[in-house]
Structures are given as structure tokens and as C-alpha cells.
Amino acid sequence: MKKIARTLGVSLLAFTAGNAFAVSDEVIQQSFYPYNNWTPTFDGYEPGVVVNQSNVEKYKEILDEALYRFISDGWIEIKTAPTTDFPLTSDYVEATRKYSDAVTLNANGTLNGYVAGRAYPQEPDANDPDAGQKLVWNYQYGFNSGDSETIEPFWWTYRDMKSGKVERVLKFSWHFMNFNHRVTFEPKPEFADNPGEIYRGIYSRVLEPFDLKDTQLLIHRYQDDTKRDDGWLYLGFQRRVRRLATGQITDSFLGSDLMIEDFEGYNGRVSDYNWEYAGTRNLLLPFYYHNEMELSSDPADDPDGYRFVDVEGKGNCFPKVTYQLRKTYTLIGTPKDPNHPIGKRVINLDSQTMTMASLVTYDKKGDLWKWFPIGKAHSDHHHERNKGMGVALDDFAVLIDVQAMHCTTLQFKSIITDDVNQPRLFSVQNLRKSAR
Amino acid sequence: MKSMTKCFYGSLVISCLAIYSSGVFAWTSEDKSWVVNGFLENSTHDRHRVGISRSRTRGQLEWSKSIGSVGIFKGVSMNGVLRASYDAAYDLNDDDFGDDAGSAVALQQVGVPAGVLPGPFAGGVPTAFVPWGGGFPLDGGVIGGPTNPNTGLAILGGDLHGGNDGGAILAYPVRPCDEDSRGCLDGYMDADKQELAAPEFNDRADVIREAYLDATLPLQNGDEINFRIGRQQVVWGRTDLFRVLDVVNPVDFSAQNIYEELEDARIPMGIFNMEYRAGAGDIFQDLNFQFLWKFEQARPHTLGQGGSTYSILQAGNFFRAMKTCWDVGCTVGNFAFGVAATDFGPGQIGIRRANTPDWEIDETDVGMRLEGVYEGVGFSANALYYNSHLPSLRGGITSTDPFAPPGTTGVFPHALAFDIDFPRIFLLGGSADFYLDEIKSAFRVELAWTTGEEFANTLRPRLFSESDVVRYVIGWDRPTFIPFLNKSRAFLISGQLFGQHILDHELESGPLGKVGIPDWEDNWIATLLIQGFYQNDTVQPRIITAYDVRAQAAAVAPQVDWLISNNWRLVVGANFKFGTGAREFDDNRSALPYAGLAALAGGAVGGSAGLGGFEPLGRFRSGPIGMASAEDEVQISLRYRF
């Protein structure tokens, strides 16, 4: 009955939104195609310039606070390139056009009437007290991984930033799939049998090293944002599935520099933070064409000949890619939990893709703690299978713990596909089935 | 400790040489369909006042071959694990566990002044420790002779209670069965030294630890049936350390009592394992149905035989003592009238044989499980009909009456003459796990009801009875930050409370003490794990504690696990026991099974009056923690994973 009511509701919303409340083309153009008739600029900045210790002061305003400090300290110099368009798939754009006007915010900050696409394509209004909340929903229901994505191989390398020593390499297979709000892959907009009202499934399996091999992680995120995720871990050495206490998301994940809350930029409930829109600015972000970068020799045995983005700079903690000047919305997230270890997250949300392209995290004392840029690759200039997918692909990320002088680099082979990403993969039983 | 260090470094050098000389690496075939990896490990334990109790070098090879689609099946693969080990403790410490273990024994005789007892004891019994074969003679003088010498023996439970408590005192041979065949139970506890040291090379081919075929049959409606056929581990349940529902596979307790990782301790069995995966539906987020048929000949837990390095509850020691009594006779301290060491002849008391299950279709195990997720709560309903993995001592067998003319045999109620059997058990149970965000904790619960289990019971003429049993556990897991110890990584705090209720428990007060089932009618074991993570999780200190509530016995096991590199791992730990060790219970000495004995005592044939001591039934009150209370150890292990 609940499902029928929901389906009916979605249909009605689709009908009404498709007719009476369609969002204007101007809003759509501005939100999804900002670079059609405009290119961000900054006085004295020319694409192609190398920003380094000697000239960093000139570009301070187009660098996020952490990157500015790193360049100032001589940890890295960055190459720049012209701003390029990273259009999302037209399916997502059309869903926005169709449904977004019907979306409202509930008193508790959750969404009402959301079906698919970008919830709030309008330019954020500094006078709107809910502007930050709306932006974070744009991220939460963004198209970061498309409807469905497989990342394999996915290497996490733990590095001592002082010495550059590689301490540990974890190799994963990682899968993301939206159970609903789907726009690209069938079924659209959702899977029929989803009594738990799961929004998103995350499944990962450790391929190496030996001590963690066959460890599997499953996370269910629910439509109801106030509901805590459910998580299960299959431990190879115990041969059983263990229920996870998913509330402790500030814990380091498998000893890396990432908290579980850091995945994809922010992996918690929207309702766990207060969100504030702190303005729009143009920043240099690691957006690039993967195939045009100087790539690593890893993974050497990739059957498609795919190679990761390489590393450089202090401790080999930085991506060897070009940065481009892009329009971003600055979002400040402050944890509601007074015991949360983070003071605030300063998130620079890429306005076109609504991905968290760079995050600067401060501790309770207000000191810089972590920097987490997520390199985005254009899907037409990446693996052959991603052509035409219209996703700004996660391609490289690093979490630098400035205080510990330690980093974890993440190198991706992201493929937008639903080949294996079906609900069955995101079930507890699959953990057992896949186990040895 | 010095010997341990020497042994560890010796083994380490050998292991390292072996690794480097053979160039051991994981291997993946060019088409990636074959994957082979494994490990080589040495694990050395030093037991307080004993010395080396384990120096096991173990190699394990894990392989898989992906085949792909075959006819109507997809995801077809073959998988297996080969394991071989050698425990040098039987060589390095052969005084305690090998060919030279044991010694001559003297058994307590508390004695009695003249004029107190009737018949042959009217003149009194001297207080003494009498040698093997030096008791009141009911044996025809065979004990202590060449076929049953007073060598290679140890006092049962002597490490716990010293063998001088005034209770029944037994002795058992401790040497491997090729060195001393006394008390060896054919087909059950009859390992020679090679089999003790290298247990995988046995007649069950345990060197092939696992070998199974995986295949999936996709159905038209999108559901699928998964098959896993072959020798495998089937893990039910959600608990650590102790088991409630996880009873499909028997366990090898001889590896390290209850402290071996279950993954390593489970004994894989040949099982036809079929799972129908219905997946998500209108009501359940996930729903699956599993059918199991264990087609390999049933086998019980490996409890550890008398004289082996680990023997849970020291049950193997007790069985060996009793089997010795039956086969070649034995001296039992403080037996006759509770005061005189007594020599029993063959066939009078003891264990005649172990009736291990044969392979018959109606003796195989079958199980079913319905498992799923509803509203975020994982659940299962389980049923299993199986051969007990634990032995039952069933009295009521034909034995010889020591108080009648030689050769007089019969079935004597309350006589200490047993066969070991493995009854059929039906288990019905269920489990659930869920998360409570309010307290940031995950919970695991299990409940199981069994019928068919058998317990020692001195009230019954055959000295055992059947009882339904309810077992349950609630587990609590909470990652918790302890900022002054680690500000970026939470500690895992995990507690469990296991409970057991024996529904048909019998316990009465006799003139001399309690009589009936020695196991507690209700008992609980609590466990607590605290584990930390440092240096990118490469250094993991942890402490595990377990407390048996009724036995009032505790174990504390601190450990530091250091992942030196992706290949090398070093684990240093200890296992200390606290609290009460041995506990007393009726030992059936006061029973009068034989007319001649009853006449001598001036009573009537009948059961026990409750005279008790530590041996042999007190072990069921002490539990596995209490019975190992003399087994404090420091442990070190080095593993090379490839």
C-alpha cells in the first residue's frame, strides 16, 4: 500500500511538475551549462600558468585555503589549463527541468516532492537562510557516480608525507548504485521491489593486501535522511557477516586518513550538519581530461591498458593533473554533534556538476586539519566505456592530514555501468555468496 | 621462556629460509582464472610451569579456479584450501607431551582407622599415596605389571587440584598412542605422535581442508539458486568465541582449546549447500532460503586426546583414564568406601568403546535456514538435525562385577561402565542483528533450542539423561573513541553474554551431597573485547576477557598484532586465567551397583549418595575456562602471507 501511494505520488508529481511547474530554460542553462557563453576569469590569471611558491600570492583568491598554503610552502606547484565544459547527461538535466519546481524543504531540512534530477537548479541566494541546505541536497542527489558506477581497481595508498614512503596499498572493487531517482539506467526512476526504501547501495570488496583480502563492506542509505545508514562487514578471517555500528562515521576507514564520513566528499546524513552557503567564487579545481594527463604506470596489468593519474609533490600526495578555473559555491558544514571531532567543513561545490571538488576541514580549535580534493575527469576523455555518460568522474582524490603529515591517495578506474550493479549485489546475502 | 625463545627463533629461521629459498609468492594465471595464495606461519606458546605447549608451523594454500558459465549455470568456480602443519611441541617438550611424557604416579588413599568400616576394611586403611596397582585388589593383580606399568602416567586434573582432595583420583596415560596404546579410543582418540603433530595427515584427509564447487542457476523471474558443493565451512550465527547457532561444522579444540580463531578451528565437512535467493520483495529487503545436506561421514569435535597439548575440559584425559580402566585395569584413589585406593580389573569400570557415527543415509545431517532483512533488521530462522559433536557417556553396558566370582558379567545399574555415543540432535533457532543509533551500537542476538542432548546424571541408572536445552546470546558492538589513547581511530568494544538453560535438569540432595546433572541448570559466560588500531591499522592491540559466571572462572588474553608488511605479521600475546579452577561434584563412588558391594556396605543396591570430589564430573561445573586455569601462556606467532 505504501508503495502504491508512493508510486501514485511520484506520478502525480511528474504530471504536475511536467505541466504547471516546469523550471525555466534560463535556470537550466545557468545551472548545467554555465560555460556555454561565459568563462570565469581572474585578473592576472591565464590558463596554462604554473602556480608555484614564487607567484602564489597573485592567485591566492582563486585557490582554496589549503591549496594556497601547500603551494606557499613549496609542497606542490600546479599546472593550469583552460576551463572546459563538464556537462551532465541530458537525462539528469531533463529530470531537473521536469521535477525540480515541485521540490520543497520540510521543516526538519529534508526534501519533499523530490523525484529526480537537481533539486534546486536556481542560483543560490545569499539572503535565503536555507541556501546551504538546498545546495547540500543538490550534492546528495547529484550525479557524482551516475545512477550506477563500478570502480575497479581502486587503489588506496597510505603515504608518509614527510618521507614519501608508501606504507600500505589497499586495492578494492567498489560499486555504487541508486535504487531510486534514476535517470539513465533502467528501471527509471526506481526499482520496484525496495521495501526498505533504500536510496543508495554501496558495496566494496578488498582485493589486496592479504590480511584484508575478501573483506566486504555493504552500506544501505535510506530515502529517509533522518534514518541512519545500515552497514555490514564480511570479514574473511571470521567468515561471517558482522553488523556495523554505522553511527560512528568519524572513525578512520581501515586505517586510512579518510573517515567514513569523508567518502565522496561527504558521506553522512544531511541532517547531521548545519549547512551555510558562504558565497560563490571562482577557484582552480582539478578538473581535466584523463587521457591527456601524464599517467602512472599503474595498474600495470589492466586488461584495457587503463592507467591511473600519477602522483607528485610533497610525499607524492598530490595528483599530477591540470587545474582549471571553475565557478564554485562555498558551503560550510558544521556538525550538530558537539562531540564531533570536526570543527567545520569548507566545501567548494563545483556549480556545474554539484560535486565536492575540494574540501578543507578544520578541527575544533579552528586549525587546518585535512584537505580533500577530488579530481574530476570528463567522461568523454576517459575509458572508452564512459563516453557519452555525462558524468564528472571521480578519478583521483587525496586526503592530506596536515597535522599528522600523512596522506591517503585514491586512484580510480571509474566506469559508469549497470553491468553488475543490480539490487542483488547490494544485499547482505551477496556478502556471504561472494565469500570463500 | 628461554626454551620458547630458542624454539621461536629456530622456527623463524627455518620458516624464513623456506620462504626465501622457495620464492613463495601468490600466483595468478595470465587469464586471471586461477588464483593461488596462502601463508606460512609459526605459532609458539609457552605454558607456565610446563614449557612449550605449541610450536606449530603451518602452511596453507588457498586456490580458486573461475570457470564462468557452464550450460544453464553461471559463475561456476572451483575453490579449495590445502593445509599442513607440524607441531614441534611433541618433540621439543616430549617430557610433557611426547614419547617421554608422564611418570609413575601415586594415588591418594585418605584411609580410615580400624573398626570404622566393615569387611576387608575392618582393620583400617592406612593413609597413603599408593602406587599404580597398589590399591585394594579387585583386578587380579594385573595393574602395575608389564602390560600396564606405572610409567607414562599423570594424575587426572593434577595440574588443577593436585590429586589430593579426598575425591576419586584417576590417572591417565599421556604418551601418544604409538608409544603407549593404553586408553586409546579406536577411531576417536587414538592418534599417534605423527598424527598429533601433523593432524592434517589423517584418514579423513584433512590436508584437503576445503574443496568445493560453486555455481549459480539463474531463474527466469530474476531469482537465483546458488550451489556450493564439497568440503566447506558453513557459518551460521553471529557470535565470537562461543557458538549458539554456528554448529554445522565440528570444531578442533585440540588446536588451542576455545581460543583458536573459529575460521581456523572449524572442521570443514562435505556439504551440499543450496541457497535460493529470492532477494528483495514486497516485504523483505532480502530473503533467502538455504538447504544443507552434510554428506560426509559425521565426525565429532576434536577435543584433544589424553596427553595432547590442548584438551578442552580435559575430557580427553578423562576418557583415556576410563578407557585404560576398561582395557587393562586401573587404580582409582579414594574409591572403595571413599577411603581406599582400589585396583579395578579390565571390564569392570571404564569406557568400553566410542561408537563414532558410521555413514548411513539416515545418520547424515540436514539443515535449513531462512535468512533475510526486514526494516533494516537482519534475521534468520534455523533448523538442523545432526549428530552431536560432543560425546555422551552412556552407562548400562555389560560389565564385570568385581564383587562376584570371576567372570560374572551383567548390566548393573549405576555401574561406571560406559560406551561413548553421539546422539542425534534437533536444533531450532533464530538470530537477528540490528543497529540502535541512540547508543551507536550494533546488537546481535541468537536463540537456539535443542532436543536430544545428553548429560551425565548420577541420579539415573545409566548415569546419563536427555534434556532439551535453550541457549542464547546477546552481543553488543560499539566503536568508541577514547581520545587520550587515539583521537582518530575508534576502539572496537564488543561484549557478549551467552546463556544456557537445561530444561530437564535434575539435581537432588543426597545424604552426602548433591546428586544428578553436574552441569549448571542455568549458566552464563560473558565476553568482552577491546581492540585498538594504530599506525594505519598495522598495529592492533586488543584484550579479550571471558568470565564463566557459575564457574567463577575468567580468562584474560591481551595481544598485539603487528602487520610488519603486506606479507609479514607478528602477533605477541598471552592468555591468563583467574578464579576458581576445579570444582566438586558427585563422583558416583557412593553408588552400590553390585549386590556383593551392597552386602558389604550393609545397604541396598542403588545409586549415589552424593559423595563427591573434583574428578571426574566437577569438570562440567568448571567449564572450559576453569578447567584450563593451569594453562597460563605467553604466545608468539609469525605469519608470512603470500
Q: A383-387, B23-27, B472-476: which has the minimum mean pLDDT?
A: B23-27
Question: Does residue B15 surpass a pLDDT of 60?
Answer: no
Mutate to test the interface with B, among A212, A229, A240 (most CBs of B within 10 A): A240
Q: Test A195 with B226 for CB contact under 8 angstroms.
A: no
Chains A & B: contacts with CB separation below 8 Å: 150
d(C-alpha B353, C-alpha B455), whole Å: 18
Contact status, residue B127 vs residue B104, Cβ threshold 8 Å = no
Over its length of 436 residues, how does chain A's per-residue pLDDT go in tens digits? Answer: 444 444 444 444 444 444 445 789 999 999 999 999 999 999 999 999 999 999 999 999 999 999 999 999 999 999 999 999 999 999 999 999 999 999 999 999 999 999 999 999 999 999 999 999 999 999 999 998 999 999 999 999 999 999 999 999 999 999 999 999 999 999 999 999 899 999 999 999 999 888 888 899 999 999 999 999 999 999 887 888 999 988 888 888 999 999 888 988 898 899 999 999 999 999 999 999 999 999 999 999 899 999 999 999 999 999 999 999 999 999 999 999 998 889 999 999 999 999 998 999 999 999 999 999 999 999 999 999 999 999 999 999 999 999 999 999 999 999 999 999 999 999 998 998 887 6
* Between B52 and A250, the higher pLDDT residue: B52
Q: Test A210 with B642 for CB contact under 8 angstroms.
A: yes
Q: Residue A4 has what pLDDT?
A: 44
Q: Test B440 with A196 for CB contact under 8 angstroms.
A: no
CA distance to partner chain B, nearest, from residue A256 (Å)? 6
Q: Which three cell numbers stand for residue B200?
A: 592434517
For the segment B85-133, what is each residue's pLDDT rounded down to a tens digit? Answer: 999 999 999 999 999 999 999 999 999 999 999 888 999 999 999 999 9
> B221 to chain A: which residues are within 8 Å by CB?
none
CA distance to partner chain B, nearest, from residue A248 (Å)? 6
Whether residue A418 is contained in a domain is answered as no
Which of A196, A245, A252 comes nearest B478 by C-beta? A245
Q: Residue B25 has what pLDDT?
A: 67
Whether residue A241 is contained in a domain is answered as no
Q: Which residues contact B117 (CB under 8 A, 6 or more apart)?
A: B125, B337, B339
Whether residue A294 is contained in a domain is answered as yes
Q: What 3 state SS string does chain A have?
A: CHHHHHHHHHHHHHHHHHHCCCCCHHHHHHHHCCCCCCCCCCCCCCCCCEECCCCHHHHHHHCCHHHHHHHHCCCCCEEEECCCCCCCCHHHHHHHHHHHHHCEECCCCCEECCCCCCCCCCCCCCCCCCHHHHHHHHHHCCCECECEEEEEEEEEEEEECCCCCEEEEEEEEEEEEECECCCCCCCCCECCCCCCCEEEEEEEEEEECCCCCCCEEEEEEECCCCCCCEEEEEECCCCEEEECCCCCCCCECCCCCCEHHHHHHCCCCHHHEEEEEEEEEEEEECEECHHHCCECCCCCCCCCCCCCECEECHHHCEECCEEEEEEEEEEEEEECCCCCCEEEEEEEEECCCCCEEEEEEEECCCCEEEEEEEEEEEHHHCCHHHCCCCCEEEEEEEEEECCCCEEEEEEEEEEECCCCCCHHHHCHHHHHHCCC
Q: Is A26 on the interface with B (CB under 8 A)?
A: no
Q: Nearest-CA neighbor of A214 among A239, A181, A191, A194?
A: A239
d(C-alpha A293, C-alpha A382), whole Å: 10
Q: Which residues contact B492 (CB under 8 A, 6 or more apart)?
A: B477, B478, B479, B480, B529, B530, B531
Q: How many domains does chain A have?
A: 1
Categorize the per-residue pLDDT at B339 as very low, low, confident or very high, splitting at 50, 70 and 90: very high
Q: Residue A20 has what pLDDT?
A: 45
Q: Residue A432 has what pLDDT?
A: 87
Question: Does residue B18 surpass a pLDDT of 80?
Answer: no
d(C-alpha B314, C-alpha A326), whole Å: 73
Which of A158, A220, A243 comes nearest B433 by C-beta? A243
Question: Does residue B1 surpass a pLDDT of 80?
Answer: no
Q: Residue A95 has what pLDDT?
A: 95
CA distance to partner chain B, nearest, from residue A433 (Å)? 8
Whether residue A342 is contained in a domain is answered as yes
Which of B37, B279, B537 comes nearest A427 by C-beta? B279
Q: Test B285 with A252 for CB contact under 8 angstroms.
A: no
The stretch B33-48 carries a mean pLDDT of: 95
Whether residue A26 is contained in a domain is answered as yes
Q: Residue B24 has what pLDDT?
A: 57
Q: Test A238 with B373 for CB contact under 8 angstroms.
A: no
For the segment B218-254, what is each residue's pLDDT rounded down to a tens digit? Answer: 999 889 999 999 999 999 988 888 899 999 999 999 9
* Between A372 and B489, the higher pLDDT residue: A372
Nearest CA in chain A to B565: A168
Q: Test B566 with A198 for CB contact under 8 angstroms.
A: no
Pairing of strands B377-387, B330-336: unpaired
Q: Is A169 on the interface with B (CB under 8 A)?
A: yes
Nearest CA in chain B to A253: B489
* Between B144 and B354, the higher pLDDT residue: B354
Whether residue A425 is contained in a domain is answered as no
Which of B64, B378, B481 comes nearest A243 by C-beta? B378
The stretch B376-398 carries a mean pLDDT of: 97
Question: Does residue B141 surpass a pLDDT of 90?
Answer: no
Q: B-contacting residues of A 191-210, CB under 8 Å?
A: 191, 193-196, 198, 208-210
Give CA angle at B224 (B223, B226), nearest 5°: 155
> B477 to chain A: which residues are within 8 Å by CB?
242-245
In a 3-state reduction of DSSP, which class is residue B463? coil
Q: B-contacting residues of A 415-434, CB under 8 Å?
A: 423-424, 427-429, 433
Mutate to test the interface with A, among B27, B285, B446, B534 (most CBs of A within 10 A): B285
Q: Residue A8 has what pLDDT?
A: 43
d(C-alpha B545, C-alpha B576), whole Å: 9
Which of B282, B536, B537 comes nearest A195 by C-beta? B282
Q: Test A423 with B238 for CB contact under 8 angstroms.
A: no
Average pLDDT, chain B: 93
Question: Does residue B83 surpass a pLDDT of 70?
Answer: yes
Contact status, residue A399 vs residue A66, Cβ threshold 8 Å = no
Nearest CA in chain B to A211: B566
Q: Test A210 with B566 for CB contact under 8 angstroms.
A: yes
Whether residue A221 is contained in a domain is answered as no
CA distance to partner chain A, nearest, from residue B381 (Å)? 14
Contact status, residue B487 vs residue B481, Cβ threshold 8 Å = yes
Q: Residue A23 has what pLDDT?
A: 85
> B263 to chain A: which residues are within 8 Å by CB?
237-239
Which of A196, A254, A424 comes nearest B375 by C-beta? A196
Whether residue A352 is contained in a domain is answered as yes
CA distance to partner chain A, nearest, from residue B483 (Å)? 10
* Between A16 and B192, the higher pLDDT residue: B192
Nearest CA in chain B to A342: B488
Mutate to test the interface with A, among B65, B228, B566, B640 (most CBs of A within 10 A): B566
Q: Which domain range does residue A372 map to?
A: 1-143+154-169+251-412
For the segment A363-386, what is each residue's pLDDT rounded down to a tens digit? Answer: 999 999 999 999 999 999 999 999
Contact status, residue B435 vs residue A244, Cβ threshold 8 Å = yes
Q: Residue A235 has what pLDDT?
A: 86
